[in-house]
């Protein structure tokens, strides 16, 4: 059974550019969540999608956006990149919406974004 697949694994961008990251969930999982990991702020929730609808959003500026397709694959986009956006972006999938003991999140390996 394939795990959560994130592409690309590494990428380098310059300030002002935009970036799109992709996440393919485990087959049958309908919820996809995104988290940002930085040395200073740790792991922070970005947003969650379930059945193509954004269910929950973290405290990030509008430059951060996402979407989910009918096959449950998800993309997140960051526009007008800033140096502080350099981070590991982790995607997680689960069967249903809302992380809980009965609905555990499985994480991908992440996409490491460097902004120069």
Of the candidate residues 18, 27, 103, 114, the single one contacting another protein (CB under 8 A): 103
| Nearest approach, Cβ of residue 38 and another protein (Å) | 11
Of the candidate residues 24, 33, 72, 74, the single one contacting another protein (CB under 8 A): 33
| Nearest approach, Cβ of residue 112 and another protein (Å) | 8
Tell me if 14 sits within 8 A of 82, measured CB to CB. no
Residue 98 interacts with another protein (CB under 8 A): yes or no: yes
3-state secondary structure the chain: CCCCEEECCEEEECCCCCEEEEEECCCCCCEEEEEEEECCCEEEEEEEEECCEEEEECCCCCCEEEEECCCCCEEEEECCCCHHHCEEEEEEEECCCCCECCECCEECCCEEEEEC
Residue 102 interacts with another protein (CB under 8 A): yes or no: yes
In terms of CB distance, is 11 or 99 closer to another protein? 99
| Nearest approach, Cβ of residue 36 and another protein (Å) | 11
* Per-residue interface string for the shown chain with another protein, residues 41-60, x marking contact by CB under 8 A: -xxxx--x------xx-x--
Q: What is d(CA 49, CA 67) in angstroms, rounded to the nearest whole number?
A: 7
Residues that bind another protein (CB under 8 A): 4, 33, 35, 42-45, 48, 55-56, 58, 90, 92, 97-110
């Amino acid at each position: 059974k394939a795990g959560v697949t994130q592409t690309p694994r590494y990428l380098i961008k310059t300030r002002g550019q935009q970036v799109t990251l992709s996440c393919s969930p485990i087959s049958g999982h309908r919820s996809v969540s995104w988290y940002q990991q930085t040395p200073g702020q740790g792991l922070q929730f970005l947003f969650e999608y379930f059945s193509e609808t954004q269910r929950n959003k973290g405290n990030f500026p509008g430059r951060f956006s996402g979407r989910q397709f009918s096959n449950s694959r998800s993309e997140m986009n960051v526009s007008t990149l800033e140096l502080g956006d350099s981070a590991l972006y982790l995607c997680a999938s689960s069967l249903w919406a809302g992380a809980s003991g009965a609905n555990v999140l499985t994480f991908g390996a992440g996409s490491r974004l460097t902004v120069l």
